[in-house]
Amino acid sequence: MSAALFDLSGKTALVTGGYKGLGLAMASGLGEAGAKVILNGRKASSVAPVCEQLRAQGIDAYMKIFDVTDYATLASNIDECAKEHNGIHILVNNAGIIQREPLASMAISDFQNIVETDLTAPFAVAQAVVKHMRAQGSGKIINICSMMSELGRDGVGAYAAAKGGLKMLTRNMATEWARDGIQVNGIGPGYFATDITAPIRVDGHPFNEFIINRTPAGRWGNPDELRGTAVFLASAGSDFVNGQVVYVDGGILATIGKPSNES
């Protein structure tokens, strides 16, 4: 098999929320595979240093500052990206938020905010990008779903509702846009070692013990372990893969119980 199948040279990738955490890991992977990477965020002060860091690593990185929920300016920002960078060939819909609150006490405005950011905004961004992909005759859209696209958990009902909706939106985007040469798939990350999870990954913390015991791999994921999946779904290697969600979770969704130590 030729490595050219996964070569992203000449492609432009827009990664929303791509300046930190899992978004940055995926953006780095796409850049290392040859893509020009555009990192999106709301504040230049947060995104610019990350672009410089990627450039120092030999990645062709740029930034585009806009809010994915500002629908009045979204399309013009996407159009500018396409014009400035010779099209948008890859979109990673990564920007999202979570708020831990029991459904019974959650304010409707908070529920709506999560659904807007995690479900409506990915739709709006993809809708703005897809016209450029149609004009090109090809494109790759990767929606960042979650294990909560499949499972419920106390305190994250709004997030789960949005991510479950994003899974079905992914399938419907694939259904409508496949004949345009566009593949739309999702990635469902498991539990990864990031700055956000650092406080609960200490020895003795109940959630840390829960994740280690619940995950067949017996550990948290390394963000770099998302890069290969992102590159695959962004490359010619996935040209007949459409409407799927690839769960990168160390095997959590494969089992209902604590992994056995027996050989």
User: Which residues are marked as active site?
Assistant: 159
How wide is the angle at C-alpha 133 spanned by C-alphas 52 and 239, nearest 5°? 95
Q: How many residues does the chain have?
A: 263
3-class state of residue 180 by DSSP:
helix
Taking the C-alpha atoms of residue 81 and residue 87, their distance in angstroms, rounded to an integer, is 7
The residue assigned the tokens 């199948």 is 5
Q: What is the CA radius of gyration of the chain?
A: 18
Phi, psi of 70 (to 5 degrees): -90, 85
How wide is the angle at C-alpha 159 spanned by C-alphas 216 and 221, nearest 5°? 30
Report the C-alpha dihedral over residues 6, 1, 246, 248, rounded to 10 degrees.
-90
Task: Number of helices (H) and strands (E) in the chain: give both, helices first.
Answer: 8, 7
Contact 232, 164 (CB under 8 A): no
- C-alpha 22 chain-centroid distance: 7
List the one residue out of 223, 140, 146 whose CA is nearest residue 185: 140
